[in-house]
Amino acid sequence: MTQTKQNPLTILSTEVVDIVREKYNVIGIIVLSEHDLYPEELATILVKYCSHNFSHNDRLIVLHDDTDYYPNLNSVGNTVYNFFRLCANFDISVNHILFFTNHYNIEEEIKSVAKTVCNSNNIAVICTSLWADYPLDNNIDQTLLDDSVTTYEALYACLNGQCREHRLLTLCMMSEHRLLDRGVVSYHFKK
């Protein structure tokens, strides 16, 4: 089993991993977000599977769990491209990969790249929201739903962590329309 920096079970819902393990022999879990900024790191992980002789029931799980760099809206994500480029280079069978992603409508892109680069689009792409940032049953507190508010302290809430241009523009637009003082706002944009 590939050793990862973070336990993959904390990234993908354990229920999902259990379903996979009921059916397949998982030979490794690759978390793309751990290697996407430096693709040579991804190469050092994937080289372990170079020309691997997969048995019928073996599967390699790939977790596409973070954003990707798209040069433009019609392009292919750098991480997706690099992954399949390396699979082709190391002769890794994409037929034995389960590609889990939190990007909706990405299946066509992935299959297209796999076909172009690896000459096979027979790859299972599973788009799911069931990652660590999806609420578990015990996160859901029914009492929060009670509708007992009698007054609002602000019109809106807008919470902003890392500085992104779309968050910056949202706040600028709020300011332009003199709505800033009507909101419960946060931003953590200091570098």
Partner 1 sequence: MYHGPLRTTTPPARINDDLILTERFHDIMSKHRHLFKDNNYQHPLIVGGSNHWNTKFNADFLKKTFVYVITETVSEYPHRYFSEKTWKAMVTGVPFMIVGSQNSLQELQNFGFKTFNKWWSEHYDTLPTTAERIESLVIELKTLSELDNKTLLQIRSEMQSTINHNFNQLKIFKNKQLDNIRNKI
Q: Residue count at the site for partner 1 (CB under 8 A)?
A: 95
Three-state DSSP at 34 gives helix
- Residue 73: strand, helix, or coil: coil
Report, in Å, the least distance between residue 165 CB and partner 1: 5
Q: Which is nearer to partner 1, 116 or 189 (CB)?
A: 189
Minimum separation from the CB atom of position 121 to partner 1 (A): 15
Choose which of 47, 62, 91, 94 interacts with partner 1 (CB under 8 A): 47
Chain positions 5 to 44 lying near partner 1, rule: CB under 8 A, are 15-16, 19-20, 23-24, 33, 36-40, 43-44
Within residues 132-191, the interface with partner 1 by CB under 8 A covers: 133-135, 137, 139-142, 144-145, 147, 149-161, 163-177, 179, 182-191
Cβ count within 10 A of residue 173:
10
Strand-pairing partners, residue 61, are 29, 98
Shortest Å, Cβ 111 to partner 1: 14
Token pair recorded at residue 30: 């690759």
- In angstroms, give the least distance from the CB of 114 to partner 1: 16
Burial class (CB in 10 A: 0-12, 13-18, 19+), 46: buried
CA dist 91 and 46 (Å) reads 10
In whole angstroms, how close is the CB of 65 to partner 1 at the nearest point? 11
- Amino acid identity of residue 167, one-letter, is R
Residues 59-98 that bind partner 1 (CB under 8 A): 59, 66-75, 78, 81-82, 85-86, 89-90, 98
74 touches 38 (CB < 8 A)? no
Residues 6+ apart with CB under 8 A from 146: none
Q: Draw the binding track, 99-128, toward partner 1 (x: CB under 8 A; -: no contact).
A: ---xxxxx--x--------------x-x-x
